[in-house]
Amino acid sequence: MAKIFCVANQKGGVGKTTTTVNLAAGLAKLDQRVLLVDLDPQGNATMGAGINKAGLKASTYEVMLGTADVAAARQRSEPGHFDVLPSNRELAGAEVEMVELDNRERRLKDALAVVDKEYDFILIDCPPALSMLTLNGLCAAHGVIIPMQCEYYALEGLSDLVNTIKKVHANLNPDLKIIGLLRVMFDPRMTLSQQVSAQLEQHFGDKVFKTIIPRNVRLAEAPSYGVPGVTFDPTSKGAQAYIAFGAEMVKRIKKM
Ligand code: ADP
Ligand code: MG
């Protein structure tokens, strides 16, 4: 059975999608079977995995509403060597349409239960909001990976996210835990980065992943080619860091 992880942070532009796509590709390099679920109507993870979000035959939207199943909607990321449940802006409508449905926080969980034997990892790229979509991600997952930049305001938003995770854990999904905080876009030359990084370790201990993802231009360039950074330039510092993070995750799930 797959271990299911949400990549979440309610802030935009903090590296959620980059982390989801490159962790998926990094895990695939380590021979793990991976499904990436794009839960963001922006469809950036879909595009970053090399799948055209325009004119999808079926998508996360239909899966959430129960009009298609995951097996029909998923596609292969050829460059990334993983499967993708793709999304596009249609998914924004699901937020409203789901209000009418039963069991609306658990739509994604129920849909994934049908395919979870086919994968080692299911990674969910969440939208930048604590919305009904994100709630579905949190209800489906065993754990949350929180990417964050080591800057002052990063810590400020963190308590809202941690409180939401605690509430979901208490009321909806007792399996849910914070797996870890991932330091991304890290610039070791900045004193503030070093200070915030040290603070995180002090405060969150072994909840902070050992792997640090550096700021690396190759990771930022890759999406415009529709290829994960890990595949685009496997020798780059960014790609190497995400492969190391994949190895760290493989180790972590053995202890779960
Ligand atoms: P989110 O999904 O949280 O909105 P993204 O993953 O889309 O964030 O990242 C925001 C921007 O930062 C994108 O332009 C992405 O290419 C860039 N980016 C993310 N991680 C890195 C990194 N490690 N090095 C350089 N650029 C990065
Ligand atoms: Mg994103």
Mean pLDDT across the stretch 224-253?
97
Mean pLDDT across the stretch 82-94?
96
The complex scores an ipTM of 0.99
Q: Are 98 and 39 in contact (CB under 8 A)?
A: no
Mean pLDDT across the stretch 64-87?
97
CA dist 51 and 217 (Å) reads: 22
Q: Please indicate whether residue 240, judged by its CB atom, sits closer than 6 Å to ligand 1.
A: no
Q: Are 238 and 210 in contact (CB under 8 A)?
A: no
Q: Please indicate whether residue 183, judged by its CB atom, sits closer than 6 Å to ligand 1.
A: no
Residue type, 141: A
What count of other Cβ atoms lies within 10 Å of the Cβ of residue 197? 18
Q: Is the pLDDT score of 99 beyond 90? A: no
CA dist 223 and 65 (Å) reads: 29
Query: The domain spanning residue 80 has which CATH number?
Result: 3.40.50.300
Minimum CA distance residue for ligand 1 atom 21: 185
Tens-place pLDDT, residues 190-224 = 999 999 999 999 989 999 999 999 999 999 999 99
CA dist 184 and 148 (Å) reads: 6
Q: What is the pLDDT of residue 6?
A: 98
Tens-place pLDDT, residues 18-30 = 999 999 999 999 9
Q: Are 15 and 7 in contact (CB under 8 A)?
A: no
Cα dihedral sign, 236-84-3-7:
positive
Tens-place pLDDT, residues 124-178 = 999 999 899 999 999 999 999 999 999 887 778 788 899 999 999 999 999 999 9
Instruction: Calculate how far, in angstroms, residue 39's C-alpha sits from the geometric centre of ligand 1.
Output: 17
Q: Please indicate whether residue 224, judged by its CB atom, sits closer than 6 Å to ligand 1.
A: no
Q: Please indicate whether residue 42, judged by its CB atom, sits closer than 6 Å to ligand 1.
A: no
Q: Please indicate whether residue 219, judged by its CB atom, sits closer than 6 Å to ligand 1.
A: yes
Minimum CA distance residue for ligand 1 atom 5: 15
What phi and psi values does residue 131 have, to the nearest 5 degrees?
Answer: -105, -175
Q: What is the pLDDT of residue 155?
A: 78
Average pLDDT, the chain: 95
Say how many domains are in the chain: 1
Query: Which residues fall inside 5 Å of ion ligand 2, going by CB?
Result: 16-17, 44
Q: Which residues of 161-172 are buried (b: 16+ CB within 10 A; e: fewer)?
A: beebbeebbeee
Domain that holds residue 52: 3-254
